[in-house]
Structures are given as structure tokens and as C-alpha cells.
A = this chain, B = another copy of it.
Amino acid sequence: MESDPPSQPVDELELAVGLARIRTMMRLLDVPRDLSITSLSTLANLERLGPRRLTELAAMEGVTQPAMTQLVSRLEREELAERRPDPSDGRAVVVAVTQHGRAELARRRAVQAKRLAELLAEVPAADRAAIAAALPALERLAARAHGLADSPAPVPEVSE
């Protein structure tokens, strides 16, 4: 759907190395340890995309369905998310983030943002600019990996 000129200016191998380091960096920036990475990522997806089926969430996170069942149970126990029946399918469960879940996400992001700001302050201004410029592109890249990304209807979301 969009372009692929002759040359690709990206060294994918170097990108793989760099993004792996970013991954480690984010792990180090993480707020203590009371919620797993996968749980947080799932919460973030729910916030971004709206309520989703359990199986769908499992696929997005690249974990098995039983793992997602347990993960959602944990989220529910802490009232960060909730299960709802699917009116169109009695077998299915629709998972939605709660207000508390949103607040928790915001809280953690604020902490990470603060730490990121400290790191950013240590690199050249040109680096900050390059990172800021690439951020939307990185988001779009990440969206591709989700398989579904933002596409399947963001859903207005019923407030709780």
C-alpha cells in the first residue's frame, strides 16, 4: 500500500541490536515489580483499542490462551480490568480496562517518563530531536507487529 523505493536505508541488523537494547532499557526503567510486562502491555492494548476478546489479547501478546486467562484473572483480582459477557457469543469473554486500570497505566507511564527525561537530558540535543522525530514512525512500526494494531475499531468504550 505504500512505497518501497529501490534502496532501503535501514540496516535491519543494527536495528535489531539497537531495539534489543531499548528493550533492556525499558526493563530497567520499569516501576518495581507488581505487574508483569505482559500484563501491562495487555492493559495498554485494552486502553488503546477498547475491550477485546481474551483470545485476541493472547494473540496480540504472543502468549497462549491459558496464559491470558490467568493474566486476566490477575488483572481482575486487582480491579485493573474486568470480564464482561459477549452478548453475541455465550462462550466468549470481553475484557475491558477499568478506571483504576487506566489510572495505574498513567501512574506508571509518568514514572517512566520522568526517568526517560533524565536519560534524555544526558544525550545531545540532536539525539533528542532524532528520537522525537522517529517516535511516530516507531509507533507505526510497532502497530504492524500487533497483527491487528489500531485497525479493528477503537470502540468508544462504555465508562464504568
Contacts and interface: CB of A to CB of B under 8 A. Distances in A.
Interface of A: 1-5, 8-29, 37, 40-41, 44, 61-62, 109-110, 112-114, 116-117, 119-146
A145 B25 contact: yes
Nearest to A106: B13
Contacts of A134: 130-131, 133-134, 138
A3 B137 CA distance: 18
Q: Sorted from nearest, which 8 A-B pairs have the closest CB atoms?
A: A134-B134, A127-B137, A2-B129, A12-B113, A21-B142, A25-B145, A16-B112, A130-B137
Copies in the complex: 2
A117 B12 contact: yes
A41 B27 CA distance: 11
19 contacts: A1-B122, A5-B125, A9-B129, A10-B135, A12-B120, A15-B135, A17-B109, A19-B22, A19-B26, A19-B116, A19-B138, A20-B44, A20-B109, A21-B143, A25-B141, A27-B62, A123-B137, A130-B137, A133-B133
Query: Which of A11, A13, A143, A145 is packed against the most chain B CB atoms within 10 Å?
Result: A145
A125 B18 contact: no
Contacts of A40: 20
Contacts of A113: 12-13, 15-16
